[in-house]
Amino acid sequence: MPQKLVKVLRGLSRVPKWVPTEHEVLALLDAVPARYRAAIWLGAGQGCRFGEMLGMEHGKSVDVSAQELHVTQQLRYSPQGYGGFYLCLPKAGSSGTLDLDQAVREALDTHVRDFPPVEVEMVDITSGDPVRRSVPLLFPATRGNPFTDRTWSNEWVKWRDKAGWPKKHGGFHALRHFFATTLITNHAEPQDVQRLLRHQTLRITLETYVHWWPRRERRRGVIGDVLRAAAHRR
């Protein structure tokens, strides 16, 4: 397959197949148990990916005084490596420091107050060298263990169905799409959307959300208007 066609198809594959409306996000927040509502806010209000949300660590990920969210790690699970759960860098090295949305901050404050972080021993490879340490996770499962993809999926299906979200394309990542498209439709600059999504290039952002960028009214006769104005000033 020609390389140019491969790039085109790759761009098309990034385009969201479904994006929830604000009412559908609110319906999900109503459907989710109180202990996981702040997790939904991180997806919808900060654009966090699933693993990044699960890897949120008390005292490290959130800086309330500076009003910043530090997305520097994600939680992964591999029975074959690192003894199970471990922390690694976010996808494609997309670590970043983001402005903390006020609504997300309030949700996190309530969460920490009502559901204190749970210390979990695991390997941290974010610095390159594996280091075993105790990690105060914000969003463990109800029994205190970290979520695997399967255990989270078992819970998500119940919340998704209760909220009326579609079975296909109605996963946690849809919250990131809501975050991005809401920024775009509220006239955020493309470079700001790229920064907040932590995409490596602006091209990825533009290709993914091409259908949401507002179309500007086409202006006709621009050159003639400019030259006529210049002629009148002579």
Q: What is the largest CA-CA distance in the chain?
A: 80
Q: Within 13 Å of residue 137, how many CA atoms lie on the same side as its CB? A: 31
pLDDT value of position 234 = 78
Asked, for residue 49, whether it belongs to a domain, the answer is: yes
Nearest-angstrom CA–CA distance, 220 and 178: 34
Asked, for residue 25, whether it belongs to a domain, the answer is: yes
CATH number, domain containing residue 11: 1.10.443.10
Nearest-angstrom CA–CA distance, 101 and 156: 24
Nearest-angstrom CA–CA distance, 82 and 146: 14
Residue 176 near residue 18, CB atoms below 8 Å: no
Asked, for residue 143, whether it belongs to a domain, the answer is: yes
Q: What is the mean pLDDT of residues 57-86?
A: 94
Tens-digit pLDDT profile for residues 5-60: 334 445 457 899 999 999 999 999 999 999 999 999 999 999 999 999 999 999 99
Tens-digit pLDDT profile for residues 111-169: 999 999 999 999 999 999 999 999 999 999 988 999 999 999 999 999 999 999 999 99
pLDDT value of position 8 = 44
Q: How many other CB atoms are found less than 10 A from the CB of residue 204? A: 16
Asked, for residue 155, whether it belongs to a domain, the answer is: yes
How many domains does the chain fold into?
A: 1
Asked, for residue 56, whether it belongs to a domain, the answer is: yes
pLDDT value of position 80 = 86
Asked, for residue 165, whether it belongs to a domain, the answer is: yes
Residue 145 near residue 129, CB atoms below 8 Å: no
Domain that holds residue 86: 3-214
Asked, for residue 228, whether it belongs to a domain, the answer is: no
Asked, for residue 234, whether it belongs to a domain, the answer is: no
